[in-house]
Amino acid sequence: RSKAAGRNQLTFFESDMQVAAMQRLKLISDLRGAQADGQLELYFQPIVELDTGRVVKAEALLRWRRAGEGLVMPAEFVKIAEECGMIHDIGNWVFTTAALWSKRWSELTGSTFQISINKSPVQFERHHRTMDWIDHLRKLGVPPSSISVEITEGVLLNLSENVFAKLYELREGGVEVAIDDFGTGYSSMSYLKRLDIDYLKIDQSFVAEMLHDPTTSTITDTIIVMGHKLGLKVIAEGVETAAQRDWLAARQCDYAQGFLFAAPMPPEEFERMLLG
Ligand code: C2E
Ligand code: MG
Ligand code: MG
Ligand code: MG
**What does the pLDDT look like over 151-164, one tens digit per residue?**
987 777 767 777 78
The residues, ordered by sequence, that sit 6+ positions from 190 with a Cβ below 8 Å of its Cβ are: none
Q: Give 239 Cα–ligand 4 centroid separation in angstroms.
A: 13
d(CA 95, CA 175): 12
Among all bound ligands, the one having the nearest atom to the CA of 119 is 1
Name the residue among 264, 241, 230, 276 with its Cα closest to residue 42. Answer: 264
ipTM: 0.97
The pLDDT, as a whole number, for residue 121 is: 78
In angstroms, rounded to a whole number, what is the distance separating the alpha carbons of residues 270 and 262? Answer: 10
**Amino acid 238: pLDDT:** 98
Give pLDDT < 50 ranges for the chain: 1
Q: What angle do CA 223, 228, 232 make, to 5 degrees?
A: 95
For residue 110, what are the contacts with CB-CB under 8 A and spacing of at least 6? none
Q: Does the C-beta of 163 come closer than 6 Å to ligand 1?
A: no
Q: How far is the CA of 52 from the centre of ligand 2 (A)?
A: 22
Q: What is the pLDDT of residue 10?
A: 60
Cα(98)–Cα(61) distance, integer angstroms: 10
* pLDDT recorded at residue 157: 73
User: What pLDDT sits at residue 160?
Assistant: 77
